[in-house]
Amino acid sequence: MTSEINHTTPTRQSRRNGVRWIETSHHREPAQALLRGNRLRRGATAAGQDATVGYDFNCPTCQHDDQVQSVPAIRASGTATSFGSDYYSGVGIGPSGLVPVFGSTTIERTRSTRLAQSLAPEPAQRRTGKLILLGLILSMPALLIAVAAVIGIVEPHKDVSVPLYILVCMGYVFSLATPSLLLLTAAVLRRRRNNRIIRGRHAARSVWNAGYYCHRCGYCFWPYAVAPGIPAQQSFSPNDFRRIVWSAGDYANI
């Protein structure tokens, strides 16, 4: 009587007729095949490249990757925000005259390294609330004069020429409204600028997220072409890198 010895590697346990035994699984890939597939899935290959060739994350200048770091990681590690309290003092006007005023307020401080600032994905937003509020406050005298001028036109004085009165009132109102108009115009321009940045943020972020920086050489690069017109495997200074990213968002010239 001869017996055959099964040399297959046991990989899965099953149970037949109440007996627990081990059989080979035919639904699992070898470990090396899985590792090879994982390497290929780490990044999709660019158009025209061999599907079996992965991306090269070495710095194009020094050909090393030990000092290479992604741009979003540099931006996150180089920016810190802190909150605290601050105190202020001044002089106010009360029923009895001038009175001292003291108080406290919560402040927010954001500190960034020079490198993190140079790799910003977009320009800083400019606030418009204070300009609008100040412009509305400065427009009150002009509105009051305009109301008084309308009343004077409706009930004109006998010795006053109505056309001349209208011309003088218009000039006076315009001179009082000029600071308010300038502030409101600046607020509108800032709002347009902010909206332009918001519209191009998605396109610029997709390019910015794929960038890398070499701490040894001080240059940025893209391992692959993330968008049309974005050069791959070329070294750029942080300022040039930022210019390319902002150009992708169509707000490089603001």
Cα 68 versus chain centre, distance: 22
- Which DSSP string corresponds to 158-213? TTS-HHHHHHHHHHHHHHHHHHHHHHHHHHHHHHHHHHHHHHHHHHHHHHHHT-EE
pLDDT confidence of residue 83: 66
Q: What's the pLDDT score for residue 195?
A: 94
* Gap between the Cα atoms of 141 and 205, Å rounded: 46
Nearest to 227 by CA among 197, 247, 254: 247
pLDDT for position 10: 41
What local confidence, expressed as pLDDT, does residue 54 receive?
66
Taking the model in full, what pTM does it have? 0.61
Contact 172, 145 (CB under 8 A): yes
User: If we measure between CA atoms, which residue out of 163, 247, 175 comes closest to residue 208?
Assistant: 247
How many angstroms separate the CA atoms of 59 and 233, rounded?
A: 8
Predicted confidence pLDDT, tens digits, the chain (254 residues): 444 444 444 434 444 444 443 333 333 333 333 333 333 333 444 444 443 246 788 999 999 988 999 999 998 887 766 666 766 677 666 666 677 777 777 776 777 788 988 999 999 899 999 999 999 998 888 888 888 888 777 776 666 677 777 788 888 888 888 999 999 999 999 999 999 999 999 999 999 999 999 999 999 999 988 888 888 899 999 999 999 999 999 998 88
CA–centroid distance for 251 within its chain: 12
DSSP type of residue 150: H
